[in-house]
Structure 1
Amino acid sequence: MSLFTMKNVQKTFAHEEVEEQILKGIDITLPEGKITALTGASGSGKSILLTIAAGLQTASGGQISFEQQELTSMRNEELRQIRAKQFGFIFQFAHLVPFLTVQEQLDLMLETAESPLSKQAQKKEIKQVLELIDMWKRKDAYPASLSGGEKQRVAVARAIIHSPKVLFADEPTASLDSKRSEEVMQLIQKLSKERNITVLMVTHDTDMLQFADHVVEMRDGKIVQDKIT
Protein backbone atom coordinates (compact mmCIF):
# COMPACT_ATOMS: atom_id res chain seq x y z
CA MET A 1 0.00 0.00 0.00
CA SER A 2 1.14 3.59 -0.67
CA LEU A 3 2.54 5.74 2.12
CA PHE A 4 1.03 9.01 0.86
CA THR A 5 -1.67 9.57 -1.77
CA MET A 6 -3.83 12.44 -2.99
CA LYS A 7 -7.06 11.76 -4.85
CA ASN A 8 -9.21 14.33 -6.64
CA VAL A 9 -7.85 17.15 -4.45
CA GLN A 10 -9.60 20.45 -5.12
CA LYS A 11 -9.23 23.96 -3.77
CA THR A 12 -11.60 26.86 -4.35
CA PHE A 13 -11.19 30.41 -3.08
CA ALA A 14 -14.08 32.85 -2.86
CA HIS A 15 -13.46 36.49 -3.77
CA GLU A 16 -16.57 38.44 -2.75
CA GLU A 17 -19.26 36.67 -4.80
CA VAL A 18 -16.87 35.05 -7.27
CA GLU A 19 -15.32 31.60 -6.75
CA GLU A 20 -11.99 30.68 -8.28
CA GLN A 21 -10.96 27.03 -8.53
CA ILE A 22 -7.21 26.81 -7.91
CA LEU A 23 -6.82 23.02 -7.83
CA LYS A 24 -8.97 21.02 -10.25
CA GLY A 25 -8.90 17.39 -9.15
CA ILE A 26 -5.29 16.40 -8.39
CA ASP A 27 -4.28 12.73 -8.19
CA ILE A 28 -0.72 11.94 -7.00
CA THR A 29 0.92 8.98 -5.30
CA LEU A 30 4.29 9.73 -3.72
CA PRO A 31 6.89 6.95 -4.21
CA GLU A 32 8.07 5.95 -0.73
CA GLY A 33 11.62 7.03 0.10
CA LYS A 34 11.87 9.06 -3.12
CA ILE A 35 11.83 12.73 -4.11
CA THR A 36 8.74 13.99 -5.92
CA ALA A 37 9.13 17.43 -7.51
CA LEU A 38 6.12 19.63 -8.20
CA THR A 39 7.00 22.05 -10.98
CA GLY A 40 5.19 24.53 -13.21
CA ALA A 41 4.79 28.23 -13.80
CA SER A 42 3.86 30.67 -11.03
CA GLY A 43 0.15 30.42 -10.32
CA SER A 44 -0.10 26.78 -11.39
CA GLY A 45 -1.17 25.75 -7.86
CA LYS A 46 1.89 23.77 -6.81
CA SER A 47 2.61 25.60 -3.53
CA ILE A 48 -1.06 25.51 -2.53
CA LEU A 49 -1.11 21.77 -3.22
CA LEU A 50 1.96 21.27 -1.02
CA THR A 51 0.48 23.19 1.91
CA ILE A 52 -2.76 21.21 1.62
CA ALA A 53 -0.85 17.91 1.45
CA ALA A 54 1.08 18.93 4.57
CA GLY A 55 -2.09 19.75 6.48
CA LEU A 56 -1.30 23.47 6.68
CA GLN A 57 -4.55 24.41 4.95
CA THR A 58 -7.69 22.50 4.06
CA ALA A 59 -8.82 21.20 0.69
CA SER A 60 -12.23 22.06 -0.71
CA GLY A 61 -12.66 18.46 -1.84
CA GLY A 62 -10.90 15.16 -2.37
CA GLN A 63 -8.91 12.83 -0.12
CA ILE A 64 -5.37 12.85 1.26
CA SER A 65 -4.14 9.66 2.89
CA PHE A 66 -1.02 9.00 4.95
CA GLU A 67 -0.31 5.47 6.19
CA GLN A 68 -3.94 4.52 5.49
CA GLN A 69 -5.17 7.45 7.59
CA GLU A 70 -7.36 10.01 5.87
CA LEU A 71 -5.91 13.41 6.78
CA THR A 72 -8.81 15.33 5.25
CA SER A 73 -11.25 13.98 7.85
CA MET A 74 -9.01 14.32 10.92
CA ARG A 75 -9.62 16.63 13.86
CA ASN A 76 -7.16 19.51 14.23
CA GLU A 77 -5.33 17.96 17.18
CA GLU A 78 -4.86 14.63 15.42
CA LEU A 79 -3.49 16.43 12.37
CA ARG A 80 -1.20 18.55 14.54
CA GLN A 81 0.28 15.43 16.09
CA ILE A 82 1.04 13.94 12.67
CA ARG A 83 2.59 17.21 11.45
CA ALA A 84 4.79 17.42 14.54
CA LYS A 85 5.93 13.80 14.65
CA GLN A 86 5.72 12.39 11.12
CA PHE A 87 6.29 15.41 8.84
CA GLY A 88 9.28 17.69 8.29
CA PHE A 89 9.23 21.11 6.66
CA ILE A 90 11.74 23.20 4.68
CA PHE A 91 10.87 26.57 3.20
CA GLN A 92 12.49 29.05 0.82
CA PHE A 93 14.14 30.81 3.73
CA ALA A 94 15.63 28.94 6.68
CA HIS A 95 13.51 30.68 9.36
CA LEU A 96 15.96 29.72 12.10
CA VAL A 97 15.25 31.02 15.60
CA PRO A 98 17.70 33.96 15.89
CA PHE A 99 18.50 33.51 19.59
CA LEU A 100 19.19 29.75 19.40
CA THR A 101 22.49 28.15 18.39
CA VAL A 102 22.70 25.57 15.62
CA GLN A 103 22.57 22.75 18.15
CA GLU A 104 19.68 24.35 20.04
CA GLN A 105 17.64 24.59 16.81
CA LEU A 106 17.70 20.78 16.61
CA ASP A 107 17.08 20.41 20.35
CA LEU A 108 13.91 22.45 19.99
CA MET A 109 12.72 20.35 17.04
CA LEU A 110 13.13 17.12 19.01
CA GLU A 111 11.23 18.65 21.91
CA THR A 112 8.43 19.85 19.63
CA ALA A 113 8.16 16.41 18.02
CA GLU A 114 8.04 14.79 21.48
CA SER A 115 10.95 12.53 20.57
CA PRO A 116 10.87 9.15 22.33
CA LEU A 117 14.69 9.12 22.47
CA SER A 118 16.48 9.54 25.78
CA LYS A 119 18.38 12.82 26.29
CA GLN A 120 21.63 10.96 25.76
CA ALA A 121 20.36 9.44 22.51
CA GLN A 122 19.10 12.85 21.37
CA LYS A 123 22.55 14.39 21.87
CA LYS A 124 24.10 11.54 19.90
CA GLU A 125 21.57 11.97 17.08
CA ILE A 126 22.16 15.73 16.91
CA LYS A 127 25.92 15.22 16.71
CA GLN A 128 25.51 12.60 13.98
CA VAL A 129 23.23 14.79 11.87
CA LEU A 130 25.39 17.91 12.26
CA GLU A 131 28.44 15.91 11.25
CA LEU A 132 26.48 14.63 8.26
CA ILE A 133 25.82 18.18 7.06
CA ASP A 134 29.35 19.32 7.98
CA MET A 135 28.10 21.73 10.67
CA TRP A 136 29.25 20.07 13.90
CA LYS A 137 32.14 22.52 14.28
CA ARG A 138 29.59 25.34 14.12
CA LYS A 139 27.16 23.81 16.61
CA ASP A 140 27.46 26.80 18.96
CA ALA A 141 27.04 29.44 16.23
CA TYR A 142 23.99 31.69 16.02
CA PRO A 143 22.10 32.20 12.73
CA ALA A 144 23.43 35.75 12.27
CA SER A 145 26.95 34.38 11.81
CA LEU A 146 25.97 31.74 9.22
CA SER A 147 26.02 32.06 5.44
CA GLY A 148 22.83 31.50 3.42
CA GLY A 149 23.94 28.01 2.46
CA GLU A 150 24.83 27.12 6.05
CA LYS A 151 21.45 28.35 7.29
CA GLN A 152 19.63 26.22 4.74
CA ARG A 153 21.71 23.15 5.64
CA VAL A 154 20.72 23.67 9.28
CA ALA A 155 17.09 24.03 8.17
CA VAL A 156 17.36 20.66 6.40
CA ALA A 157 18.90 19.08 9.50
CA ARG A 158 16.16 20.53 11.68
CA ALA A 159 13.52 19.14 9.33
CA ILE A 160 14.84 15.56 9.51
CA ILE A 161 16.27 15.34 13.05
CA HIS A 162 13.07 13.71 14.39
CA SER A 163 13.09 11.09 11.57
CA PRO A 164 9.92 12.18 9.77
CA LYS A 165 8.38 9.88 7.20
CA VAL A 166 7.49 12.73 4.82
CA LEU A 167 9.47 15.89 4.14
CA PHE A 168 7.71 18.88 2.55
CA ALA A 169 10.04 21.37 0.86
CA ASP A 170 8.66 24.59 -0.64
CA GLU A 171 11.26 26.16 -2.98
CA PRO A 172 14.13 25.05 -0.69
CA THR A 173 16.83 26.47 -2.98
CA ALA A 174 15.14 29.64 -4.26
CA SER A 175 17.18 31.95 -2.01
CA LEU A 176 20.54 30.35 -2.91
CA ASP A 177 22.99 30.63 -5.78
CA SER A 178 23.43 27.68 -8.14
CA LYS A 179 26.38 26.15 -6.27
CA ARG A 180 24.66 26.29 -2.87
CA SER A 181 21.40 25.08 -4.43
CA GLU A 182 23.11 21.93 -5.68
CA GLU A 183 24.74 21.36 -2.29
CA VAL A 184 21.39 21.60 -0.49
CA MET A 185 19.68 19.31 -3.00
CA GLN A 186 22.48 16.76 -2.77
CA LEU A 187 21.98 16.81 0.99
CA ILE A 188 18.21 16.32 0.70
CA GLN A 189 18.76 13.50 -1.79
CA LYS A 190 21.33 11.81 0.48
CA LEU A 191 19.11 12.03 3.56
CA SER A 192 16.07 10.80 1.65
CA LYS A 193 17.93 7.69 0.55
CA GLU A 194 19.73 6.96 3.81
CA ARG A 195 16.71 7.53 6.06
CA ASN A 196 13.96 6.41 3.67
CA ILE A 197 12.27 9.82 3.80
CA THR A 198 9.56 10.52 1.23
CA VAL A 199 9.99 14.05 -0.14
CA LEU A 200 7.44 16.34 -1.78
CA MET A 201 9.23 19.40 -3.14
CA VAL A 202 8.00 22.47 -4.98
CA THR A 203 10.53 24.05 -7.34
CA HIS A 204 10.49 26.40 -10.30
CA ASP A 205 14.18 25.73 -10.99
CA THR A 206 14.41 23.11 -13.73
CA ASP A 207 18.06 22.45 -12.80
CA MET A 208 16.84 20.96 -9.52
CA LEU A 209 14.71 18.35 -11.29
CA GLN A 210 17.82 16.22 -11.82
CA PHE A 211 17.61 15.30 -8.13
CA ALA A 212 14.00 14.11 -8.34
CA ASP A 213 12.84 10.53 -8.82
CA HIS A 214 9.32 11.61 -9.75
CA VAL A 215 8.36 14.83 -11.56
CA VAL A 216 4.84 16.23 -11.59
CA GLU A 217 4.24 19.28 -13.78
CA MET A 218 1.24 21.49 -13.07
CA ARG A 219 -0.53 24.08 -15.17
CA ASP A 220 -3.65 26.06 -14.25
CA GLY A 221 -4.47 23.82 -11.31
CA LYS A 222 -4.15 20.55 -13.21
CA ILE A 223 -1.44 17.93 -13.72
CA VAL A 224 -0.14 18.01 -17.28
CA GLN A 225 2.73 15.56 -16.80
CA ASP A 226 3.47 12.85 -14.22
CA LYS A 227 6.59 10.79 -14.80
CA ILE A 228 9.07 8.64 -12.91
CA THR A 229 12.60 9.70 -13.87
Structure 2
Amino acid sequence: MTTTNLILVRHGQTEFNKHSRLQGLTDSPLTEAGVKAAEKVGHGLVDVPIVKAYTSDSDRAVATAELILKTAHEDIPLIKESFLREYHFGDLEGRKFDQIFMDVVRRYGLKNARSFWDGPTFLRKVINGFHDLDATKQAESYDEITQRIQKGLAQILADPDVQGKNILLVSHSLLLSTLVYQIAPEQIPKTLLKNASVSILGATDGKLELKALNLLDFKDIQKYL
Protein backbone atom coordinates (compact mmCIF):
# COMPACT_ATOMS: atom_id res chain seq x y z
CA MET A 1 0.00 0.00 0.00
CA THR A 2 1.22 3.47 -0.86
CA THR A 3 0.23 6.67 0.89
CA THR A 4 -0.27 9.98 -0.86
CA ASN A 5 0.40 12.94 1.43
CA LEU A 6 -1.89 15.95 1.06
CA ILE A 7 -0.18 19.08 2.35
CA LEU A 8 -3.04 21.47 3.11
CA VAL A 9 -2.26 25.16 3.46
CA ARG A 10 -4.66 27.94 4.32
CA HIS A 11 -3.88 31.17 2.46
CA GLY A 12 -2.00 33.98 4.18
CA GLN A 13 -3.77 36.73 6.09
CA THR A 14 -5.84 39.13 3.98
CA GLU A 15 -7.30 42.56 4.64
CA PHE A 16 -10.72 40.98 5.32
CA ASN A 17 -9.13 38.50 7.74
CA LYS A 18 -7.40 41.36 9.52
CA HIS A 19 -10.74 43.04 10.15
CA SER A 20 -12.64 39.79 10.96
CA ARG A 21 -14.96 39.95 7.96
CA LEU A 22 -16.52 36.92 6.29
CA GLN A 23 -14.69 36.20 3.06
CA GLY A 24 -15.91 33.45 0.78
CA LEU A 25 -16.03 34.17 -2.95
CA THR A 26 -15.25 37.80 -2.15
CA ASP A 27 -11.52 38.49 -2.42
CA SER A 28 -9.14 40.87 -0.69
CA PRO A 29 -5.35 41.14 -1.02
CA LEU A 30 -2.79 39.54 1.25
CA THR A 31 -1.45 41.79 3.98
CA GLU A 32 2.29 42.22 4.45
CA ALA A 33 2.06 39.69 7.28
CA GLY A 34 0.20 37.33 4.95
CA VAL A 35 2.96 37.52 2.34
CA LYS A 36 5.68 36.83 4.91
CA ALA A 37 3.73 33.90 6.36
CA ALA A 38 3.30 32.34 2.90
CA GLU A 39 7.04 32.67 2.31
CA LYS A 40 7.65 31.01 5.68
CA VAL A 41 5.60 28.01 4.52
CA GLY A 42 7.74 27.86 1.38
CA HIS A 43 10.93 27.80 3.46
CA GLY A 44 9.40 25.04 5.57
CA LEU A 45 8.71 22.93 2.48
CA VAL A 46 12.04 23.54 0.76
CA ASP A 47 13.24 19.97 1.43
CA VAL A 48 9.86 18.34 0.75
CA PRO A 49 9.50 16.92 -2.78
CA ILE A 50 6.14 17.99 -4.20
CA VAL A 51 4.94 16.45 -7.46
CA LYS A 52 1.81 18.54 -8.01
CA ALA A 53 0.40 21.77 -6.58
CA TYR A 54 -3.28 22.72 -6.55
CA THR A 55 -4.93 25.93 -5.44
CA SER A 56 -8.32 27.53 -5.18
CA ASP A 57 -8.80 29.93 -8.08
CA SER A 58 -9.37 32.84 -5.67
CA ASP A 59 -6.64 35.48 -5.92
CA ARG A 60 -5.62 35.24 -2.26
CA ALA A 61 -5.04 31.49 -2.53
CA VAL A 62 -3.24 31.76 -5.87
CA ALA A 63 -0.94 34.47 -4.48
CA THR A 64 -0.17 32.31 -1.44
CA ALA A 65 0.53 29.22 -3.56
CA GLU A 66 2.82 31.15 -5.91
CA LEU A 67 4.82 32.52 -2.98
CA ILE A 68 5.16 29.04 -1.47
CA LEU A 69 6.39 27.46 -4.70
CA LYS A 70 8.77 30.32 -5.45
CA THR A 71 10.30 30.22 -1.97
CA ALA A 72 10.49 26.42 -1.93
CA HIS A 73 12.17 26.48 -5.38
CA GLU A 74 9.53 24.16 -6.75
CA ASP A 75 9.47 24.39 -10.54
CA ILE A 76 6.08 22.78 -11.04
CA PRO A 77 2.90 24.17 -12.60
CA LEU A 78 0.18 25.50 -10.33
CA ILE A 79 -3.19 23.92 -11.05
CA LYS A 80 -6.28 26.00 -10.24
CA GLU A 81 -9.27 24.01 -8.99
CA SER A 82 -12.69 25.55 -8.41
CA PHE A 83 -13.63 22.85 -5.86
CA LEU A 84 -11.02 24.37 -3.53
CA ARG A 85 -12.85 27.71 -3.41
CA GLU A 86 -13.99 28.92 -0.02
CA TYR A 87 -17.52 28.42 1.23
CA HIS A 88 -19.96 30.81 -0.45
CA PHE A 89 -21.55 33.00 2.25
CA GLY A 90 -24.16 34.59 -0.05
CA ASP A 91 -25.30 37.98 1.25
CA LEU A 92 -23.31 37.44 4.46
CA GLU A 93 -20.08 38.12 2.55
CA GLY A 94 -18.06 40.97 4.01
CA ARG A 95 -19.98 41.18 7.28
CA LYS A 96 -18.35 40.95 10.70
CA PHE A 97 -17.88 37.35 11.83
CA ASP A 98 -18.81 37.96 15.48
CA GLN A 99 -22.13 39.53 14.53
CA ILE A 100 -23.10 36.75 12.13
CA PHE A 101 -21.95 34.02 14.52
CA MET A 102 -24.23 35.30 17.27
CA ASP A 103 -27.09 35.40 14.76
CA VAL A 104 -26.41 31.71 14.09
CA VAL A 105 -26.35 30.93 17.83
CA ARG A 106 -29.69 32.68 18.35
CA ARG A 107 -31.14 30.83 15.38
CA TYR A 108 -30.60 27.60 17.32
CA GLY A 109 -32.46 29.08 20.30
CA LEU A 110 -29.36 29.36 22.48
CA LYS A 111 -28.62 32.24 24.83
CA ASN A 112 -24.84 32.09 24.57
CA ALA A 113 -22.11 30.67 22.34
CA ARG A 114 -20.65 28.28 24.92
CA SER A 115 -23.41 25.69 24.57
CA PHE A 116 -23.20 26.01 20.79
CA TRP A 117 -19.67 24.57 20.79
CA ASP A 118 -20.61 21.49 22.81
CA GLY A 119 -20.39 18.16 21.00
CA PRO A 120 -18.84 17.09 17.70
CA THR A 121 -21.49 18.61 15.43
CA PHE A 122 -20.55 22.28 15.92
CA LEU A 123 -19.09 22.83 12.43
CA ARG A 124 -22.11 21.28 10.75
CA LYS A 125 -24.32 23.64 12.80
CA VAL A 126 -22.20 26.68 11.90
CA ILE A 127 -22.32 25.96 8.16
CA ASN A 128 -26.02 25.15 8.11
CA GLY A 129 -26.60 28.30 10.16
CA PHE A 130 -24.89 30.41 7.49
CA HIS A 131 -26.98 28.62 4.88
CA ASP A 132 -30.22 29.41 6.71
CA LEU A 133 -29.34 33.07 7.34
CA ASP A 134 -28.46 33.85 3.72
CA ALA A 135 -31.46 35.59 2.15
CA THR A 136 -30.13 34.99 -1.38
CA LYS A 137 -30.06 31.19 -0.87
CA GLN A 138 -26.60 31.00 -2.41
CA ALA A 139 -24.79 29.90 0.75
CA GLU A 140 -24.02 26.18 0.76
CA SER A 141 -25.38 23.68 3.24
CA TYR A 142 -23.00 21.35 5.06
CA ASP A 143 -23.95 18.48 2.74
CA GLU A 144 -23.34 20.61 -0.35
CA ILE A 145 -19.85 21.72 0.62
CA THR A 146 -18.82 18.21 1.70
CA GLN A 147 -20.02 16.76 -1.59
CA ARG A 148 -18.03 19.40 -3.48
CA ILE A 149 -14.89 18.55 -1.53
CA GLN A 150 -15.28 14.79 -1.85
CA LYS A 151 -15.89 14.88 -5.60
CA GLY A 152 -12.92 17.14 -6.31
CA LEU A 153 -10.55 15.28 -4.02
CA ALA A 154 -11.48 11.93 -5.54
CA GLN A 155 -10.52 13.22 -8.99
CA ILE A 156 -7.13 14.43 -7.77
CA LEU A 157 -6.33 11.21 -5.91
CA ALA A 158 -7.27 9.11 -8.95
CA ASP A 159 -4.30 10.59 -10.83
CA PRO A 160 -1.61 7.86 -11.05
CA ASP A 161 1.11 10.53 -11.03
CA VAL A 162 0.39 11.44 -7.39
CA GLN A 163 0.25 7.92 -5.96
CA GLY A 164 2.64 7.59 -3.03
CA LYS A 165 3.87 11.17 -3.45
CA ASN A 166 3.41 14.58 -1.79
CA ILE A 167 0.93 17.09 -3.21
CA LEU A 168 0.20 20.66 -2.16
CA LEU A 169 -3.33 22.05 -1.82
CA VAL A 170 -3.79 25.74 -1.00
CA SER A 171 -7.28 26.71 0.02
CA HIS A 172 -9.35 28.42 2.72
CA SER A 173 -10.27 28.18 6.38
CA LEU A 174 -13.80 26.84 6.24
CA LEU A 175 -13.22 24.53 3.29
CA LEU A 176 -10.08 22.94 4.74
CA SER A 177 -11.64 22.77 8.20
CA THR A 178 -14.63 20.96 6.71
CA LEU A 179 -12.32 18.48 4.98
CA VAL A 180 -10.49 17.70 8.22
CA TYR A 181 -13.77 17.68 10.16
CA GLN A 182 -15.01 14.77 8.04
CA ILE A 183 -12.04 12.71 9.21
CA ALA A 184 -11.46 13.89 12.79
CA PRO A 185 -14.32 16.14 13.96
CA GLU A 186 -13.11 16.19 17.55
CA GLN A 187 -9.75 17.69 16.56
CA ILE A 188 -10.92 20.80 14.70
CA PRO A 189 -10.24 23.87 16.88
CA LYS A 190 -13.18 26.19 17.51
CA THR A 191 -11.32 28.98 15.70
CA LEU A 192 -10.77 26.64 12.71
CA LEU A 193 -7.49 26.61 10.77
CA LYS A 194 -5.10 29.55 11.06
CA ASN A 195 -3.80 31.67 8.21
CA ALA A 196 -0.76 30.09 6.51
CA SER A 197 -1.03 26.98 8.67
CA VAL A 198 -0.12 23.53 7.37
CA SER A 199 -2.19 20.40 7.96
CA ILE A 200 -1.32 17.02 6.50
CA LEU A 201 -3.57 14.15 5.45
CA GLY A 202 -2.50 10.72 4.31
CA ALA A 203 -4.56 8.97 1.63
CA THR A 204 -4.19 5.19 1.49
CA ASP A 205 -6.51 3.02 -0.61
CA GLY A 206 -9.14 5.75 -0.64
CA LYS A 207 -9.07 6.27 3.13
CA LEU A 208 -7.89 9.52 4.71
CA GLU A 209 -6.09 9.93 8.01
CA LEU A 210 -5.04 13.09 9.82
CA LYS A 211 -1.27 13.29 10.32
CA ALA A 212 -0.79 16.92 11.39
CA LEU A 213 -3.07 19.86 12.12
CA ASN A 214 -2.65 23.64 12.12
CA LEU A 215 1.15 23.65 12.07
CA LEU A 216 2.87 27.04 12.17
CA ASP A 217 6.35 25.65 12.91
CA PHE A 218 7.69 23.56 10.05
CA LYS A 219 11.17 22.49 11.21
CA ASP A 220 10.04 18.89 11.88
CA ILE A 221 7.53 18.63 9.05
CA GLN A 222 9.32 15.65 7.49
CA LYS A 223 8.27 13.39 10.36
CA TYR A 224 4.63 13.69 9.26
CA LEU A 225 5.32 12.63 5.66
More helix by share: 2
Q: TM-score, length-normalised on structure 1?
A: 0.31
Q: TM-score, length-normalised on structure 2?
A: 0.32
